[in-house]
Amino acid sequence: MAPPRFDWITFDCYGTLIDWERGISDAFTAQAGRKGRTVDRSSVLDVYHAVEPVVEAETYRRYREVLGFAAEQVVERLGWTVPPEGTGFLAESLPSWPPFSDTNPALARLAGGGVKLGILSNVDDDLLAGTRATSTTSCRARRSAFRWRGSIGNGNPSDQRVRPIGNSAI
């Protein structure tokens, strides 16, 4: 096998390695069931995609809080209410969001080829740690926006993602 062309390869976690749409829709479906309701998955995702960027743009919030505020707005727009203490269901579900079916085999092939793997994410460290537990391949570097009070997705200081790692940078 030829030596790898890169020392490091980094990935965004949610939407690239983790099926965040399935995780979000599963969390809302489960919460609706606990409240004796049903929800349409595509409606949940349509509303979620509309509200999350607005919540992120308002002010800096930990991603756990972004998920809580977004969940509250989604359920209200769908016509049912979750009490404020109940909006944490979405963040609590995040560590169980499933990887895409090809994620672990692809990461294993890359790691087996000598490439070091890293994750870039805008979630809180504890949520990312829960997600990492679903991976069968170790990602040696992790950079979360939580560490520098920014969100990769909303134009805050994402340039701080670039940090030296050995002779490489992520």
Q: Which residues are catalytic?
A: 12
Q: How far apart are CA 155 and CA 56, in angstroms?
A: 10
Q: With beta carbons less than 8 A apart as the criterion, state whether 130 and 95 touch.
A: yes
How many residues make up the chain in this entry?
A: 170
- Two tokens at 166? 């050995």
- Two tokens at 130? 């829960």
Distinct helix (H) and strand (E) counts, the chain = 6, 5
Ranges assigned E (strand) in 83-145: 116-121, 141-144
